[in-house]
Structure 1
Amino acid sequence: MTASITLPSPAKLNLFLHIVGRRPDGYHELQTLFQFLDYGDDISLTLTPDQPGIRLATPIPGVSEEDNLIVRAARALAAKASGDLPGVSIAINKRLPLGGGLGGGSSNAATSLIGLNHLWQLGLGLDELAETGLTLGADVPVFVRGHAAFGEGVGEKLTPAFPPEDWFLVLKPACNINTGKIFSEQGLTRNTSRIRIAPAFEGDASRYRNDCEDVVRRLYPEVDQSMEWLKKFGPARLTGTGACIFGRFPTESAARIIWESKPSGIIGFVAKGVNVSPLHQKLTELE
């Protein structure tokens, strides 16, 4: 049995996010296009046969162990095992900002599920892992499945998609956004017309937007100011409920030129959009 493994936990972007209705349980019906970035966290999983249990070697400031999706994912997977499992120590090299709309927590959960399935030799398929992931968060299944996808429902109904693998400049304004607050706002658009599975950005790009963007920009001036700056260089968009915004560029050098001129006080990065998750690329190398 392999004793240790380090796997990528990539970011995602919502290339668009349409809110097409509201369900009786209060959740919103979405249509969105997920694409991964070749940038994210790294998670190291080490088996500890002499120390049973699940331990987080690198706690995340401000996140309790009970709320940490890495720990919750590991416990959910352990509950599916029929026999005793060796203990595991989990460490994370955290690059993705918390509360950025990049899916960091969901990605961490998915990487933990897939990595522990491998280390513990449970033999579970992606369907079962995605089903477990959905109990942790609506975005976890897309990370488990590992392919860019058109998402519907609360984001869990996935159809593989193939958007252009462009370069992105991602900026994180200096604010943290409460997703629940955004989805409960009176002024939020909730009746965007449904579209059929669309090849991303073919035809009129104005058909695609992020329905959370107007509300977020109104409530968070930092996002509004960053958006105004980035829009000087081309279309800019919010991912998820933010706070991160992104602009797309045809080349890495084009994105980096803009990055070099960013306003002070804003953090961010340049990354390539990829349709196969770096996590699944790494797993292919291990097979």
Structure 2
Amino acid sequence: MKQKPNNHSAWAEKWPAPAKLNLMLRITGQRSDGYHLLQTVFQFTGLCDWLSFHPVDNGKVSLKKTIPGVPESDDLTVRAAKLLKAETGCEQGVCIEVEKNLPLGGGLGGGSSDAATALVVLNELWHLKLSSEKLMDLGLTLGADVPVFVYGHSSWAEGVGEKLEKIRIGEQWVIIIKPACRVDTKQIFSAKNLTRNSRSITIRDFTEGEHQNDCLAVVCELHPAVKKALVDLSAFSEARLTGTGACVFAQFESENAALEAYKFLKDKWQIYLTKGVNESPLFSKLKLGKYIS
């Protein structure tokens, strides 16, 4: 990443932390440390949290406003900023402001995306010059989904989600439904009846229609509202679970088709209309502002 000669304007910006969708999710094994081995496909959306960064003179990292139920010390943006400082010896401080739009416990990667935006943007604002690869390594210590948000492009992912291969996917309109429940990822991955031995597939298998999510049965058993949302959305297009849920989504060939479904479902569900994108909105903004080459 190239440092912009004068980045005062960058401090004044709001920076997107986009939602991700898992277009499929297969669990192919489990490591000795308990982490699950996965195959998944990530795509970003235009639905975002927004982060602002305010310089402070005391060298400390803080939040302008905490998220209800999340202590400041546990907030992933704070942890990301402190991790950068510890890694580089940076003595600068920051107050982080988060406009939270992505639902908690929805499988959209909100916390991980916020952390990645903090890593990427503060690396620029603080002139740290860490490589994307280094930021991805640091991000992995915060969560398995953080590296793909740092990577910034739709990806075929393996390992625990950190082995990424750039792919291009059709940028379709998407409806996302958030049922009135919050799914605990640890509970899903510790469930006895979770499928952990799916066969590995290829990118071609995925593009030809293999879209299964191995977490689906467990999530629907524990959260009937997710199953109901899937049924309602499947009346309009193929409905899928993203990540470990709770959000379900469907892709549409046209904006009009998506709008028709949105209008029908909006009074019944917490619902979002957006579009899948191959390049993260964060990196689109960075390039547009010439903060990176």
Match of 1:77 among 57, 72, 84: 84
Asked whether the equivalents of residues 62 and 72 of structure 2 are also in contact (C-alpha less than 8 Å), the reply is no
Match of 1:112 among 106, 111, 118: 118
Q: Distance in 1 between matches of 2:255 and 2:141?
A: 37
- SS of match in other structure, 2:88: coil
Alignment of 1:1-287 (within 5 A): 2-3=7-8, 4=11, 5-48=13-56, 50-85=57-92, 87-196=93-202, 198-199=203-204, 201-203=206-208, 205=209, 207-262=210-265, 264-287=267-290
Deviation digits for residues 19-54 of structure 1 (CA, Å, limit 9, x no counterpart):
111111111110000000011111001212x33311
- SS of match in other structure, 1:34: strand
Q: Give how far 1:127 is off.
A: 0.5
**What letter corresponds to residue 10 of structure 1 in structure 2?**
P
Asked whether the equivalents of residues 84 and 90 of structure 2 are also in contact (C-alpha less than 8 Å), the reply is no
Q: Distance in 2 between matches of 1:59 and 1:152?
A: 33
Asked whether the equivalents of residues 163 and 199 of structure 1 are also in contact (C-alpha less than 8 Å), the reply is no
**What letter corresponds to residue 64 of structure 1 in structure 2?**
P
Q: Distance in 1 between matches of 2:47 and 2:150?
A: 16
Q: Distance in 1 between matches of 2:62 and 2:73?
A: 12
Q: Give how far 1:254 is off.
A: 1.2
Runs of 4+ in structure 1 deviating by more than 6 angstroms, as ranges, are none
Q: Give how far 1:173 is off.
A: 0.2
Identify if the C-alpha distance between structure 1 residues 283 and 263 changes in structure 2 by more than 3 Å, giving closer, same or farther. closer
Identify if the C-alpha distance between structure 1 residues 101 and 200 changes in structure 2 by more than 3 Å, giving closer, same or farther. farther
Q: Which runs of 5+ in 1 are unaligned?
A: none
Q: Give how far 1:83 is off.
A: 4.7
Q: Give how far 1:189 is off.
A: 1.0
Q: Give how far 1:200 is off.
A: 7.2
Q: Distance in 2 between matches of 1:83 and 1:144?
A: 20
Q: Give how far 1:260 is off.
A: 1.0
Instruction: Figure out how many residues of one structure are paired with residues of the other and give that number.
Output: 282
TM-score normalised to the size of structure 1?
0.95
Q: Percent identity?
A: 48
Q: Distance in 1 between matches of 2:221 and 2:263?
A: 27
TM-score normalised to the size of structure 2?
0.93
Q: Give how far 1:199 is off.
A: 4.3
Q: What is the RMSD of the two structures over their aligned residues, measured on CA atoms?
A: 1.3
Q: Distance in 2 between matches of 1:36 and 1:70?
A: 19
Q: Distance in 2 between matches of 1:208 and 1:191?
A: 16
